[in-house]
Amino acid sequence: MANVLPADVLPADATPVLAVEGLRKSFGTNEVLKGIDLKVGAGERIAILGSSGSGKSTFLRCINFMETPSAGRIALDGTPIGTEGRNGALTAKSGELRRLRTRVGMIFQQFNLFPHMSVLENVMEGPVTVKGLPKAEARAKAQDYLKRVGLAEKADQYPQRLSGGQQQRVAIARALAMEPEILLFDEPTSSLDPELVGEVLDVILGLSREGRTMLLVTHELGFAYHFATRVLFLHEGRIHEQGTPDEVLKNPREERTQAFLHRFSAFHF
């Protein structure tokens, strides 16, 4: 597999696509992220694992400022996002947020398709409303992306007519239509019926063959193994262990990681 670049192997002269430094996030008095450092090279695919409450979703959501970081730095292609306020928290103006989010796409656990728009309109919405693309061009592009996720024939349907797996594939097409440099997946298969998980994972694996930079929070360990170039294990708001899938998933060094993996494989037979 190409681009296997754990943090410390990243060429010294290469600017990381995404650089996170000392990222902290608190909700009230509850500190969920306690200082996260991460450099992501172009084309890296990072699977983020951890038990619930480890901060993995919050970490992902801080990257595109769905949650505002309480402290630390986030830089895209070497350019820092937001400015540090008096209390150390990062703030970003609306124009900056828009640029950030057109470059960093996100896929949610609950799909969150727009129910009042057809599948095609869902995918066109970002390019037309946010990027100002002419409708005809956006439509052609949206049809392409729907074809990519195998749903070209559903273009005129409304989301509620689609299965969960199909909805999530539309959501991926919607994110792709913005042509982002980085894709964030927040537990993309956690709310799907087991028999629908495969079709979504297939689409994500397809994207990984295109060399896209992706970060994925998941509980599907087997998928993480095949998908990722690097695996992070988060524990209590810190990166507890990281490395290649083989290192972290097959030969974890840390006790916590071992216990976590053991719990997840307890019912294998």
Which stretch in 32-40, 98-106, 224-232, 251-259 sits in contact with other proteins by CB under 8 A?
A: 98-106
Least Å from the CB of residue 118 to other proteins: 10
One character per residue 16-55, x = contact with other proteins (rule: CB under 8 A) = ----------------------------------------
Residue from 30, 52, 87, 94 in contact with other proteins (CB under 8 A): 94
HEC secondary structure over 53-95? CCCHHHHHHHHCCCCCCCEEEEEECCEECCEECCCCCEECCHH
Regarding 113 and contact with other proteins (CB under 8 A), the answer is yes
Residue from 54, 64, 70, 166 in contact with other proteins (CB under 8 A): 64
Q: How would DSSP label each residue in 14-64?
A: SPPSEEEEEEEEEETTEEEEEEEEEEE-TT-EEEEE--TTSSHHHHHHHHT
Q: How many residues bind other proteins (CB under 8 A)?
A: 29
Residue from 73, 101, 148, 256 in contact with other proteins (CB under 8 A): 101
Under 8 Å between Cβ of 148 and 158:
no
Least Å from the CB of residue 147 to other proteins: 20
Q: Between residues 64 and 229, which has the closer beta carbon with respect to other proteins?
A: 64
Neighbours of 226 (CB within 10 A): 13
Q: Between residues 149 and 231, which has the closer beta carbon with respect to other proteins?
A: 149
Under 8 Å between Cβ of 141 and 134:
no
Least Å from the CB of residue 142 to other proteins: 13
Rounded Cα gap, residues 156 and 188, in angstroms: 23
Neighbours of 93 (CB within 10 A): 10
Under 8 Å between Cβ of 47 and 231:
yes
Residue from 139, 174, 212, 230 in contact with other proteins (CB under 8 A): 174
Residue from 23, 106, 149, 192 in contact with other proteins (CB under 8 A): 106
Under 8 Å between Cβ of 95 and 103:
no
Name residues contacting other proteins, limited to 114-173 (CB under 8 A).
Answer: 114-116, 125-126, 129-131, 158, 171
Rounded Cα gap, residues 230 and 40, in angstroms: 10
Q: Which residues bind other proteins (CB under 8 A)?
A: 64, 66, 94, 97-102, 105-106, 108, 110-116, 125-126, 129-131, 158, 171, 174-175, 178
